[in-house]
Amino acid sequence: MPELPEVETTVRGLATFLEGETIARVVLNRPNLRRPFPADLVQAMTGATVSTLGRRAKYGLIHTDRERTLVFHLGMSGRWRIDPDTPDKHDHLIIETASHRFALNDARRFGSVDLVDTPLLGEWPAFATMGPEPLGPGLTAAHLKAAFAGRKQAIKLLLLDQRIVAGLGNIYVCEALFRAGIDPRKPAGRVGMAKLELLVPAIRAVLEQSILDGGSTLRDYARPDGQLGYFATRFAVYGREGEACVHEDGGTIRRIAQGGRSTWFCPVCQR
């Protein structure tokens, strides 16, 4: 599933061609993805001018001058194609401007598209209970300390809780915990402030590096320009079970299951 850096990369790619443009035509090639397209999507977006693009957690936001925002989620395999050379049977939503054509392609159809009144975005059910953005000022060691207070669950699992931090996914939590030297199995309430002060910049660093590199490109993900990211080549622990730690004095990378997902970590470096 595309994670936060992949969505951020997608939004930045779209913004280059779409921001400030007027939407001339909207075409739906099927009635639904994971759920039906909004009934008024074509009417609301045709003729609207795109003011800005943004992101909330793993959702992309296309804001318009009509105070309506198109909110998209890429699901498992979704991606936007810009000026595709040929049509594809999985291009389910087409947006055209005077200069460009944008196709939302989703082979597995686990993605979604919604229309939300822009002033009410913060109250939209998917966003209403979300925690702070990991790249924003709201994520601090003090915030994590308060959120983890008295909690016995493993810190890895709580970092994946969108109510605590919005948009963190499995890949980047594994990598950030490694950088901060925190055992993913450790009860969150027992992680001290000193470690949390290492964790917050580690989260930001791993996300920012991945955004710079264009995303991790696992399975179906690609940037809007069709290029593939290469952060996967920088993984220190994710997917490296049985391999030597990148630190000379480290151990052998282990994989365990937590909450139905795999976790990779170094038992020597992460305490």
Q: Exactly one of 66, 186, 255, 261 is catalytic; which is it?
A: 261
Q: Exactly one of 58, 79, 156, 195 is catalytic; which is it?
A: 58
Cα 182 → chain centroid? 23
Question: Is 108 known as a binding-site position?
Answer: yes
Question: Is 151 known as a binding-site position?
Answer: yes
Residue 212 in tokens: 């710079």
2 in catalytic set = yes
Question: Is 223 known as a binding-site position?
Answer: no
**Is residue 249 within 8 Å of residue 235, measured between CB atoms?**
no
21 in catalytic set = no
Within 13 Å, how many C-alpha atoms sit on residue 128's CB side?
5
Q: Exactly one of 2, 38, 134, 224 is catalytic; which is it?
A: 2
Helices 193-213, 170-180: crossing angle, 10 deg rounding: 130
Binding site per annotation, positions for DNA: 90, 108, 151
Per the annotation, binding residues are 90, 108, 151
Task: Give the residue numbers annotated as catalytic, written as ranges.
Answer: 2-3, 58, 261
